[in-house]
């Protein structure tokens, strides 16, 4: 009984997070334009916070849907869907590399329980991957490679800062 209640709680939490991140992204962060052109893509926090013990396939499908919803709002084709599905797939291998462990303690894992440096590195790698794919697909030409890289780095800095701050503020340390 208690366990079932807890499961429901987790599911509800994730549904709220999905919707909150979607609207936070399309209504606020798509329009902040720091220095005129930097729009942090904080919706990928979804991938960082999705419970590791849940089904991996579920993460892929929900990430794809979140990316596609962002695309619907920002008229960007399937670019965000492609990028977020990509990092959702590589989340676990990267987490294992960062933690230097072959077998993860799935049931206990929480982003807040590992050391700050490792969590930061994990977030940074996934963010850079995601942003590089987004800008690469958006510009879609080798002539613009310098612009793609500079955009990736600058936007990543803000995304990492904001998402780290958001995770520290809005998640419970267990």
Partner 1 sequence: MRQIIYFIKKFRYFLLFIVLEILAFIIIIQDNSYHQSKFVNSANFISGGVYNKVNSINAFFHLKKDNELLSEENARLKNLLERRGNTYNLDSFTVIDSTQYFQKYEYSVAKVINNNYAKRNNFLTLNKGSKHGLTQDLGVINSKGIIGVIKNVSSNYATVLSILNNNSKINVRLKNSNYFGTLVWDGKDYNITQVIDIPRQALVKEGDTIVTGGKSSIFPEGIEVGVIKDFKYEQNKYQVINILLFNDMSAIGEVQIVKNLHKNEQVILEQSIENE
When binding is defined by CB under 8 A, the residue of 3, 75, 93, 107 that contacts partner 1 is 75
d(CA 126, CA 113): 19
Task: Select from 24, 52, 64, 167 the one that contacts partner 1 (CB under 8 A).
Answer: 64
User: 9-16: which pairs have CB atoms within 8 A and are 24 or more residues apart?
Assistant: 10/51, 14/50, 14/51, 14/62
b/e per residue 59-79 (b: at least 16 CB within 10 A): bbebbbebbbbbbeeeebeeb
Do the beta carbons of residue 148 and residue 55 sit within 8 Å? no
Rounded to the nearest whole angstrom, what is the least distance from the CB of residue 25 to partner 1 in the complex? 12
**Contact between 137 and partner 1 (CB under 8 A)?**
yes
Using CA atoms, how far apart are residues 135 and 128, in angstroms rounded to an integer? 11
* CA–CA dist 69, 59 (Å, integer): 15
**Is 142 an interacting residue with respect to partner 1 (CB under 8 A)?**
no
Q: Work out whether 132 is an interface residue with partner 1 (CB under 8 A).
A: no
Q: Whole-angstrom Cα distance, residue 10 to residue 49?
A: 11
CA distance 140 to 148: 9
Give yes or no for residue 157 binding partner 1 (CB under 8 A): no
138 makes contact with partner 1 (CB under 8 A): yes
30 binds partner 1 (CB under 8 A): yes
x-or-dash string of contact with partner 1, 76-95, rule CB under 8 A? xxxx-xx--xx--x------
73 sits near partner 1 (criterion: CB under 8 A): yes
27 binds partner 1 (CB under 8 A): yes
Q: Which stretch binds partner 1 (CB under 8 A): 3-11, 19-27, 105-113, 117-125?
A: 19-27
- Region near partner 1 per CB under 8 A, out of 6-14, 31-39, 43-51, 100-108: 31-39
Place of tokens 């893509």: 41
Binding site for partner 1 (CB under 8 A): 23, 26-27, 30, 33, 36-39, 56-57, 60-61, 64, 67-68, 71-79, 81-82, 85-86, 89, 137-140, 144, 147
């Amino acid at each position: 009984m208690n366990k079932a209640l807890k499961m429901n709680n987790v599911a509800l939490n994730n549904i709220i997070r999905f919707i909150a991140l979607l609207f936070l992204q399309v209504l606020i962060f798509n329009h902040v334009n720091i220095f005129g052109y930097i729009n942090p893509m904080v919706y990928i926090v979804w991938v960082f916070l999705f419970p590791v013990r849940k089904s991996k396939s579920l993460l892929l499908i929900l990430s794809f849907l979140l990316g596609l919803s962002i695309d619907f709002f920002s008229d960007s084709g399937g670019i965000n869907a492609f990028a977020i599905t990509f990092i959702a797939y590589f989340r676990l291998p990267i987490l294992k590399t960062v933690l230097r462990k072959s077998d993860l303690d799935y049931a206990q894992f929480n982003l807040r329980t590992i050391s700050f440096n490792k969590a930061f590195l994990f977030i940074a790698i996934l963010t850079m991957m995601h942003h590089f794919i987004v800008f690469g697909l958006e510009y879609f030409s080798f002539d613009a490679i310098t612009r793609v890289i500079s955009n990736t780095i600058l936007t990543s800095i803000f995304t990492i800062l904001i998402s780290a701050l958001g995770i520290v503020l809005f998640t419970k340390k267990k």
